[in-house]
Amino acid sequence: METASFITSLATSFSIFCVLLIVYEFLSRQPRNYPVYYAAVRLSTGSDPPEPRRPFTWIREAWEASETDIIKLAGLDGAVYLSLFETSLKILGCTAIFCLPVLIPLSATSHNYNTLNTSSSSTNGSTVNGSHKFSALGNLTVIRGPSFGGFDRFAMGNISDHDRNRIWAFLVGSYWLSVVTYVILWKKYKHIMTLRSTLLSSTKAQPEDFTVLVHDIPYDKTMTHAQQVDTFFKKLYGESYERCLVVMKLKKTSKFWKELEKFKEKLTLSEARFLSSKTKAKPEGIRPQHRTQFFGLFGSKVDSIDYFREKIKDLVARLEAEQSRVRIKEQEGAAFVFFNNRITAAAAAQAMHAPSGRTWRTMPAPQPKDVVWENVLIPFYERLIRQAVVYLIVFLTVLFYMIPVAFISAVTSWNNLEIAFPFMKTIGKVGPLHAILQAYLPQLALSGFLALLPTFLKFLSKLEGLFSKSHLIRATAGKYFYFVIFNVFLGVTLGTTLFNSLKRLKGNLSFDSVVQLLGSSLPPAASFFITYISLKLFVGYGLELSRIFPLLFYHSKKKFMRKFMNKPEQELKEASNPGPFKYHRNVPNDMLVLTIALCYAVIAPMVLPFAMLYFGIGWLVLRNQALKVYVPSYDSKGCLWPHIHVRILVALLVSQLTMLGYFTIKRFVYTFLLLPLPIATLMFGYLCQNIFYHPFKVTPLETASREVKEMPSIQEIVRDYTPTCLLEEDNIHDDVEKSETEK
């Protein structure tokens, strides 16, 4: 990318960020917008933020907030997600201490690209307007030669293959990057583990602390599953065992419950309309009516209030009959087992209860809102088959998605667009427009192409049979991470390199020419990624902070709910709940930026300042969002960190393999000295897995044995884990009786 185009794109992105920052400062001060910009504050405290607020107060508040404040509002998962930014910033900052002052001067004072530009010019003709020239090879149009400039001259590619003294410094940089990453990750893993232990040993116990999920209960025709569980666990745990809640098939029950809730809502709306129709002139009001067929367009007219009351009565009777039936007939081979102390529950969750590893399997129970109820019913062998099928589909998706990604990254470059669409040459004559399109078009095309993928991967993760939503989110994030690494990072790097290098292969397919070609073409791909990071940094975080689209959606939804549905104020308040961070989308995209930074930190160190800026501003913006916007519905108590830790090590491993390959391309004699780095990374990952990971799977008994001062009753715990469609039978009767009384 030309320097002028890069500066134009950077200035444009920064201008957009400044505009969105001003928009946020203005909109967030309007009380009617508080549900969007202060959703977490309003839903947790029930009050609005204090007024008046000085400009940019959010920066000071986000900076000064403690980790305890973050955990209190965003949960430990939210704090762990922000730790990704803090850890990345430390790794890149420490790496920059060596790479920026040492490697950049070594590259800038070398002249390899000048030699290549001169050679390319003399061999293939001069470039036109700083761009590549093209010629025909059969029916294939190929690029005559790359033109190196701008940031390319600050990269390792600008160092000649014969200048071994300078290359030694880049080898040292590779070791420095690896050691820095190991030290920072080790300290952060210990810190997160301490936070998790503190949370699990809290004096205020949670329902999941006394609950164990047991699945794959063997079939016994002489007793029900509930009787099996009672007999089995009473024998093993005696008085510590309280009771169980067997998971049941509730498809029909849930259908009745949803219909009942729908008619109760319609009844409330009809009664509200009836009350609003009463005036001094007509105190008796007008009772609402509607037709009963095809969305109220056909059929006889009925009194809406009476009609909905009759429907509710009928559904209550049917629901109660169905509830009684499923409790006996629809018991499945899974149950939630409740104990009266934490240490017994922790021991039961990690013990092997049967000689066969496929029956009486136990695990710590997810939080009640974290349970994926339909997946708990899936038997052992079916889960294995599902996992194999899902992994195969993901593998094929990752493999074949690279073809369109590589094609997009190559075709959307300006020079190739001018070949395919001649009218683009006319647009290219408009200087500012040409610079903006050249800078943004490939990144926007790539981002749009990837936007729908997380939803598909989340669907596959659910099919896999995972028991908790938090695990499902982590599995989706893992699949998406490997996808963006293989397709976006490798696809763009290799696609751009090979596409821009066809000219050197024309009539010269020797090994030496291919090696020289890759060695000179790989570092310039960093320009694409620097622009990509800048776009995500300024435009992405600007939109995240200003929340323009959620604001428009909220006001449209609020207007609709008030005008057409007469919703009460409490429901309008709940409608503004934005939910938790979208970890399955955010974490892989943030990890992609870190992977790019680690891979190019030594090859092209100029990527480091932009990556550091990305994680620095992201840390500040997302701390503000964690404190004021996002509301977690469940928390896995830090189980997100092992997932992040492994992916950072994968990013480092990709970086080390990239360096190993690139040093080989540069024909450096001592390239073998880099071989210990990938081995050290694998050993470090294995060590962390054995030392730190197990306490994230289960609760350590020492942690569970600490004194509890406040704990829920068994009745409250059972009620929390009971599906909604099996609850509140008394409340249903109360609602019906209340409607009859008002009538």
What's the length of the chain? Answer: 743
User: Do residues 359 and 216 lie in contact, with contact meaning Cβ atoms separated by under 8 Å?
Assistant: yes
Distance between CA 661 and CA 480 in Å, rounded?
25
* Same domain (yes/no): 119, 238: no
Instruction: Point out which residues pair with 248 in neighbouring strands.
Output: 331
> Which two structure tokens, joined as six digits, stand for 265?
């809502």
pLDDT digits (tens, 9 = 90+) for 32-85: 888 888 888 877 776 777 666 778 889 999 999 999 999 999 999 999 999 999
Distance between CA 381 and CA 18 in Å, rounded?
55
Tell whether 706 is covered by a domain: no
> Which two structure tokens, joined as six digits, stand for 298?
């056909």
* Range scoring the smallest mean pLDDT among 113-117, 181-185, 315-319, 722-726: 113-117
429 phi/psi in degrees, rounded to 5 = -75, -15
Residue 626 pLDDT? 93
Query: Half-sphere exposure (CA, 13 Å, Cβ side) for 445?
Result: 20
* Same domain (yes/no): 344, 429: no
In the numeric block, the tokens 């109660």 are attached to 320
Tell whether 647 is covered by a domain: yes
- Biggest CA-to-CA distance, the chain: 99
Instruction: Point out which residues pair with 213 in neighbouring strands.
Output: 336, 363
The candidate with the shortest Cα–Cα distance to 526, out of 591, 589, 594, 597, is 597
Sequence-separated (6 or more) residues with CB below 8 Å from residue 23: 546, 548
Residue 416 vs residue 636, higher pLDDT: 636
* Same domain (yes/no): 476, 572: yes
Distance between CA 411 and CA 714 in Å, rounded?
63
* Same domain (yes/no): 155, 216: no
Residue 459 pLDDT? 92
* Same domain (yes/no): 423, 539: yes
pLDDT digits (tens, 9 = 90+) for 400-430: 776 666 666 666 555 655 665 565 666 655 5
Most confident of 126-140, 204-218, 725-739: 204-218
Sequence-separated (6 or more) residues with CB below 8 Å from residue 77: 470, 580, 581, 583, 632, 635, 636, 637, 638, 639, 640
Tell whether 348 is covered by a domain: yes
* Same domain (yes/no): 401, 258: no
Residue 145 pLDDT? 42
User: Among residues of the chain, what percentage have pLDDT more than 90?
Assistant: 38
Residue 740 vs residue 400, higher pLDDT: 400
Confidence of residue 563 (pLDDT cuts 50, 70, 90): low
* Same domain (yes/no): 168, 237: no
Tell whether 120 is covered by a domain: yes
Tell whether 305 is covered by a domain: yes
Sequence-separated (6 or more) residues with CB below 8 Å from residue 496: 409, 410, 413, 525, 528
Virtual torsion, Cα 649, 653, 656, 661, nearest 10 deg: -160
> Which two structure tokens, joined as six digits, stand for 559?
């207007």
Tell whether 707 is covered by a domain: no
Cis peptide leading into 52, omega within 30 of 0? yes
Q: What is the DSSP annotation of 154-173? A: GSGGGS-TT-HHHHHHHHHH
pLDDT digits (tens, 9 = 90+) for 245-270: 999 988 888 898 988 888 888 888 88
The candidate with the shortest Cα–Cα distance to 249, out of 380, 374, 383, is 374
Which secondary-structure segment (H or E) carries 302? strand 298-303
pTM (2 decimals)?
0.83
pLDDT exceeds 70 at position 120: no
Distance between CA 43 and CA 66 in Å, rounded?
20
Q: How many domains does the chain divide into?
A: 2
pLDDT digits (tens, 9 = 90+) for 611-634: 999 999 999 999 999 999 998 988
Tell me which residue range forms the domain holding 211.
Answer: 207-378+713-742
Tell whether 599 is covered by a domain: yes
* Same domain (yes/no): 118, 250: no
Tell whether 82 is covered by a domain: yes
* Same domain (yes/no): 248, 324: yes
Residue 150 pLDDT? 56
* Same domain (yes/no): 612, 534: yes
* Same domain (yes/no): 641, 722: no
* Same domain (yes/no): 187, 58: yes
